[in-house]
Structure 1
Amino acid sequence: MSWFEVAPGAPFGAEELPYGIFTTPDSEVRRVGVAIGDQVLDLSEMAHSAGLEGEVFQQPTLNPLMSLGPEAWAEARHLLQALLTEESGREIVEPHLRPAGSVQLHLPIEVADYVDFYASEYHATNVGRIFRPGGAPLTPNWKHLPIGYHGRAGTVVPTGTPVVRPNGQRKAPDQEEPTFGPSRRLDIEAELGFVVGVGSTQGVPVGVDAFAEHVFGAVLLNDWSARDLQAWEYVPLGPFLGKSFATSISAWVLPLAALDAARCPLPPQEPQLLDYLRGEVSGYAIEVEVWINGYLVSTCPYASMYYSPAQMLAHLTSNGASLRTGDLFGSGTISGPAAEQRGSLLELTWNGSEPLLLGGEERTFLADGDEVVLRGRAPGGPNGGVIRLGEVSGRITPAPTS
């Protein structure tokens, strides 16, 4: 029995305790907070009286906290849960609670590097069938390694940030020459992102079994994509400007420990992977909902992902590339076997040939003014309830005219 009562409908309980960065109307100083119920607990003010390492909670990003490592993460989480449960914690916690609606949330991490993977077999197969009809939907390497690309860390933005429609080169199949202008095929990608807390030594790969030693937590992630720009530029070196204009993440980072009950087996991986990708790996039974203009258009099952986040991390470092605190890697679009489980408009509308109906309007790709919201949930809450991830939203604004 806890002295702290979570308000009905509030997004987070004592099982989640996600971390974020916030400011208040009376102070523009960014500091660390934890979401609990419909409140934000100001850890910068409470830390010393609670026996926590105070300085890391007075920083403008989560990076100093994340760099402390798994033992410190677990200690802080256990202490916070005890303070919210035991009556003796009331006098320590209550003075530092603020209504969630009264604070401004910011990008929670200083992003060091950003890598995005392509780990859903259903998504990769759908894309292959769309663009290579009659051919093999998967490329020959797909079932041997987690395919990915390096993105642009500087354009990772927090939820609620407007997404400006990008300009770029695009060339339709019936055009002889490319043109430059606003993307006409602006898309979403519903993903899970993983945040690295502890770095690694350059030249020393991180094995699949060391995942929890390095990864601090998870966020929902929308890897906005300009499909027409991407289609023209991606040969021969892959995604570039069609991806790098914006990537939105949750303002709250859910600690990895909050997802322990959501771990689940991976789908069968055949043919057998090489040794460095094998070990005690698992997926997560997380569902990600995609909402456009208030309409639920898809519910994407992360449990169907072919590669685990531990395998992604192992492959990312297999050539000796080092990790840094604040590295972010995305899972790639989460799609399942059913049409209503697809995590991109490219798939949901089958490259624009099957429009979605949103109330009285049709959509093939995003229009200016459209708002996209991703929401995530997993098993593991009290009394058979759910664990929630911080939502991520973005509204499309028109492309620059000059």
Structure 2
Amino acid sequence: METNKPPVIWLNVAIFSLTLGVAAIGTPLYAYYIGFDWAQCLMLLVAFSFCGLSITAGYHRLWSHKTYEANGVLKFIFAIGGAFALQNSILHWSSDHRVHHRHVDNNDKDPYSAKRGFFYSHIGWMLREYQASRYTDYSNCRDLQKDSIVMWQHRNYAWLALVTNFGFPFVFGLIHGDVWGALLLVGVVRLVLSHHTTFFINSLAHIWGSQPYTDKNTARDNGFLAFLTFGEGYHNYHHIFENDYRNGIRWWQFDPTKWLIKACSWFGLTKNLRKCPEDRIEKARATMLLKTLQTKLADAPNSQVRLERLEEEYDALMLKISDYYSAQKRMLELRKARLVKHYENFEFVQQYEQMKSRLDEQRKAWKLLTAQYA
């Protein structure tokens, strides 16, 4: 017997269908018969970036994960941008996301479990009331309920969403001299792009990419998705180190959300930026690489000898990482207290330099060995 499906959320169905239809059909027709100029295209990029960064830096890294603190001005800007992005209130979005991290890939509890398929995790989960309590139970966000800006936006979300989504494009259109073009490009196209690039993190970022840090969930790192989502595409890293304000931790990784948060700290707009300790990151990468190579070498010729050597080098690397980073912590304390040059610490400083050198050598040996097997 077929079970009854959850009720359809017709408002969401209407919004997603109409905006996508207007953007896909109306935009090329308007471009052909009337055209868009550089100012309209630039405003599309500005509005898209405002929405995207309000979600990534605000909804996600500030409120959902508390990876840093922000002052009232910045929080207000993100609250307005989040309403403009039309992805529900901060409180509701953060509640869903915290449940997702707590129960990732659990089909019964994860609101947008990737294991239920691409369509479901991308948009399907918002088209029916699969979990009706999502709209009433915010017990996992009691901290956010103490935030006056969060609760102001939550109470006034409907009219804020209407005012921003129609008001911003309309005002720009009046100034620019093409209201209909602005409503189409800055209003509808911007909204569709904002929606679906964000949704890619729930769907594509769980099926497409690499897993350099963990395979305990479906999250992947994907540089292309990071480009589309202001740095959110480094999702494998994020799911194991969710309290880090960064997603792309390397200097060359595209993460403008990280750059924005860091830049704001220079002006006192953000503070207490949280970062995962480097030793945990390095150990996670090495452990995941070991696991991958163990699987690959399991049926290879002389696999036992190779695996034993691999595990020996791995154990040596783990030990040297622990020794070095423990010593580094002590060294930072001494530097902070300006005691590095004191005679009684001279021997420790020498030991620290030796630990650093030994770790560098072990890293090279590990890299050369794993490169042979990879």
**TM-score w.r.t. length of structure 1:** 0.22
Query: Which structure shows the bigger proportion of residues in strand conformation?
Result: 1
Query: Which structure has more RCO (C-alpha within 8 Å, separation ≥ 6)?
Result: 1
- The structure having more radius of gyration, on CA atoms, is 2
